[in-house]
Amino acid sequence: MNSPFHFPSLVWDGPIAVYLFLLGISAGATMLAVLLKRSGLAGERPEENNVLRCNAWLAPVSIILGLLLLIFHLTKPWTFWYLMFNYHHTSIMSMGVMLFQVYMLFLILWLAVIFKFWVLNLVKRFIPKLTDFAEKTIDFIAKFTGPIEIITLILSVALGAYTGFLLSALVSYPMLNNPVLPALFLASGTSSGIAALIVCTLLFTKESTHSASIAFLHKFELPVVLIEAFLLFAFFVGLYLGGGQKTVAFQTALLGGFWANVFWIGVVGIGIVLPLLLNAVAKDSLKHRKGFMLLVAVLGLVGVLCLRYFVLYAGQMTLA
């Protein structure tokens, strides 16, 4: 019964780790897309910007996939809608359900304004009677583009931190019940969002690797990874110095065993050190190669997925 994926104190398993990963991508990608649009680099016609076009798919698809995983992880999946009609202010999960809905609403509003013509074409094809109404509605919403962008940005930050708060409420697990966790998940979620946007943009569009938008995303990569590395360090120093079961959790997680390997090889090696090293030694001409950029981004994504698995599983190994 005792294996890395099955042990008595384990409650939340694999699908939850993937859910945390997908949510981080959605939040991080939207955060960067809003910043890109507001920086003015997307130009007068943001609907033609490849990064924004990719985010229009990536952000909603990843959050919906994540939520589907979550719903089918419930022991009673078909009662998921109870969560939307019974709120409980002391529960982080309940606040998260509220946050999802507001986030999705603002994401859709923001995307509808940017991709107005695309939306109107769809409406025209399927429900022609509503075309006028849809156009007027979107034009009305467009008057509030500024506030909508700011609110979407704030909500994406909140969503990125939310998964950390969700786990940090677990008083039973000293490693998860940690104030650094939300900040760590926000930082790693942001870096996974950047990486996912780069991968999608380079794979599915003809965006040049020298474009201003890609350069904008790239500019954030290094600082975010460094912040993530520092937060990871602070997270474990806090555990090490915490005494009692916190120190036990530190030893259990990092000093040997399957999940320690996932951490040192996956999170630290593949996710942080290798991308930093590649960027440090590569010549400028190589750095702008599509293959190289894809490789670095995929390494980052693998590292963040490993971090989610590691934190979730190793976090549940030690009890208070």
Partner 1 sequence: MTACSRRSFVSGMGALILMTGTTMKSAAQSPTEKQPIRYAMLHDESACIGCTACMDACRETNQVPQGVSRLEIIRSKPYGEFPDVKYEFFRHSCQHCTNAPCVAVCPTGASYIDAATGIVDVNKDLCVGCQYCIAVCPYRVRFIHPVYKSADKCNFCRDTNLAKGKQPACVEACPTKALTFGDTNDPHSAISLKLKEKQVYRTKVELGTDPNLYHVPARPGEIRR
170-173 long-range contacts (CB < 8 A, ≥24 apart) are 170/315, 171/320, 172/319, 172/320, 173/9, 173/249, 173/315, 173/316, 173/318, 173/319, 173/320
Q: How far is the CB of 9 from partner 1 (least distance, A)?
A: 7
Given 103, 165, 173, 185, the residue binding partner 1 (CB under 8 A): 173
Given 101, 172, 208, 261, the residue binding partner 1 (CB under 8 A): 172
Spell out the residues 6+ positions from residue 203 whose beta carbon is closer than 8 angstroms to its own. Answer: 294
With contacts defined by CB under 8 A, name the span among 103-111, 117-125, 151-159, 169-177 that binds partner 1.
Answer: 169-177
Residue 320 binds partner 1, judged by CB under 8 A: yes
Residue 94 binds partner 1, judged by CB under 8 A: yes
Spell out the residues 6+ positions from residue 77 whose beta carbon is closer than 8 angstroms to its own. Answer: 71
With contacts defined by CB under 8 A, name the span among 6-14, 61-69, 113-121, 219-227 that binds partner 1.
Answer: 6-14
Q: How far is the CB of 8 from partner 1 (least distance, A)?
A: 8
Q: How far is the CB of 107 from partner 1 (least distance, A)?
A: 22
Which residue, 80 or 118, has its beta carbon nearer to partner 1?
Answer: 80
Q: How far is the CB of 291 from partner 1 (least distance, A)?
A: 42
Residue 97 binds partner 1, judged by CB under 8 A: yes
Given 9, 39, 137, 208, the residue binding partner 1 (CB under 8 A): 9
Residues 122-141 that bind partner 1 (CB under 8 A): none
Residue 316 binds partner 1, judged by CB under 8 A: yes
Please answer whether residues 314 and 181 qualify as being in contact, where contact means their C-beta atoms are separated by less than 8 angstroms: no
Token pair listed for 164? 């950390």
- In terms of C-beta density within 10 A (0-12 exposed, 13-18 middle, 19 or more buried), how is residue 280 classed? exposed
Whole-Å CA distances, 21 to 37, 184, 232, 314: 24, 13, 16, 16
Q: How far is the CB of 31 from partner 1 (least distance, A)?
A: 25
Token pair listed for 46? 């943001």
What is the spatial distance between Cα 164 and Cα 120, in angstroms, rounded to a whole number? Answer: 38
Q: How far is the CB of 227 from partner 1 (least distance, A)?
A: 28
Residues 52-91 that bind partner 1 (CB under 8 A): 73-76, 79-80, 82-83, 86-88, 90-91
Total chain residues near partner 1 (CB under 8 A): 28
Counting Cα atoms < 13 Å in the Cβ hemisphere of 292 gives: 16
Q: How far is the CB of 280 from partner 1 (least distance, A)?
A: 40
Residue 19 binds partner 1, judged by CB under 8 A: no
At 256 the three-state DSSP class reads coil
Q: How far is the CB of 235 from partner 1 (least distance, A)?
A: 19
Which residue, 298 or 320, has its beta carbon nearer to partner 1?
Answer: 320
Which residue, 76 or 125, has its beta carbon nearer to partner 1?
Answer: 76
What is the spatial distance between Cα 217 and Cα 139, in angstroms, rounded to a whole number? Answer: 29
DSSP string of 101-125, one letter each residue: HHHHHHHHHHHHHHTHHHHHHHHHH
Token pair listed for 188? 């790693």
Which residues of the shown chain bind partner 1 in the complex (CB under 8 A)? 9, 11-12, 73-76, 79-80, 82-83, 86-88, 90-94, 97, 169-173, 316, 319-320
